[in-house]
């Protein structure tokens, strides 16, 4: 149980385009999902907390107009990187929180902006 | 000071060794503690979850929490090359929705 999926697993796009990443909890409902970014050999950096039915909460320094988050249902949150630039290239990971305190992570999405 | 401190390593051990991974935390409100394992280019995988102080064992893995000293440990017995990964500790409290992660320790088990 507690499986989280992400799609796509890898995406390459041109600078200036927008990219949408989906995060799904497959066998549980998650009122809260989290989006992280991870650069090579670095730890997870929390970007935002996604709340079902309400606006996401962004961490300091994360541009909410650039990283659009939608948590439309109890099993789906999406992260859209708008007008992506090469510096946005990173590994994006979501996690979902069931009613317990733990978080379960998705497999990650590798974004490369050319 | 970070709320959760973790030695980044890297740590290299021979196959079969006992591995000790450690974290310290500063927030007294933290009540639950986790260890995640992350292979290269993959999402973190939950290994152990502990609530409050004490030990928890699962196969070759033992998690220890000492709330008096704010110390979190993960022991791996009979380490295998497949244990080579980055290990992240994480802590949280009931009032906080999000976990606070350590920076991760990179472990290599040599065959």
Residues belonging to chain B with any Cβ–Cβ distance to chain A shorter than 8 Å: 32, 34, 36, 41-46, 49, 51, 88, 90, 92, 94, 97-99, 101-104, 106
**Cα(B71)–Cα(B80) distance, rounded to whole angstroms?**
25
Between B33 and A42, the more confident residue is: B33
Q: Is A43's Cβ below 8 Å from some Cβ in B?
A: yes
Quote the pLDDT of residue A110.
97
**Cα(A5)–Cα(A22) distance, rounded to whole angstroms?**
8
**Percent of chain B scored above 90 by pLDDT?**
72
Quote the pLDDT of residue A42.
82
Q: Are the beta carbons of A101 and B94 separated by less than 8 Å? A: yes
Mean pLDDT of B85-107: 86
Find out whether A36 and A46 touch, Cβ atoms under 8 Å. yes
Angle, vertex CA B37, rays to CA B34 and CA B42, nearest 5: 130
- For residue range A62-95, list pLDDT tens digits in order: 999 999 999 888 899 999 999 999 999 999 999 9
Residue of B nearest to A43 (CA): B103
Q: Given phi > 0 = left and psi -120 to 50 = alpha, else beta, which region is B37?
A: beta
Proportion of chain A in helix, strand, coil states, percent, rounded to 5: 5, 50, 45
| Chain A to chain B Cβ contacts (< 8 Å) | 50
**What are the backbone angles phi and psi of residue B82, rounded to the nearest 5°?**
-70, -10
- For residue range B17-68, list pLDDT tens digits in order: 999 999 999 999 898 899 999 999 899 999 999 888 889 999 999 999 999 9
Residue A46 CB neighbours (<10 A): 18
């Amino acid at each position: 149980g507690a499986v989280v999926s992400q799609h796509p697993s890898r995406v390459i796009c041109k600078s200036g385009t927008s990219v949408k990443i989906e995060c799904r909890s497959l066998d549980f409902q998650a009122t809260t999902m989290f989006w992280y970014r991870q650069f090579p050999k670095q730890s997870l950096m929390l970007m935002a907390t996604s709340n079902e039915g309400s606006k996401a909460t962004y961490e300091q320094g994360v541009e909410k107009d650039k990283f659009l988050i939608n948590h439309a249902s109890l099993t789906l949150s999406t992260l859209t990187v708008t007008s992506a630039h090469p510096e946005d290239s990173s590994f994006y990971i979501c996690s979902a929180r069931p009613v317990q305190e733990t978080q379960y992570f998705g497999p990650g999405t590798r974004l490369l902006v050319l | 000071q970070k709320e959760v401190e973790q030695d980044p390593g890297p740590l290299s051990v021979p196959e079969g060794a006992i591995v000790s991974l450690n974290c310290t935390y500063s927030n007294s409100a933290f009540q639950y503690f986790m260890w995640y394992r992350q292979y290269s280019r993959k999402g973190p995988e939950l290994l152990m979850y502990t609530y409050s102080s004490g030990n928890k064992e699962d196969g070759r893995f033992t998690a220890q929490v000492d709330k008096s000293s704010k110390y979190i440990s993960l022991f791996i017995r009979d380490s295998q090359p497949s244990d080579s990964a980055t290990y992240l500790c994480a802590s949280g409290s009931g009032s906080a929705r999000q976990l606070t992660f350590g920076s991760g320790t990179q472990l290599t088990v040599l065959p």
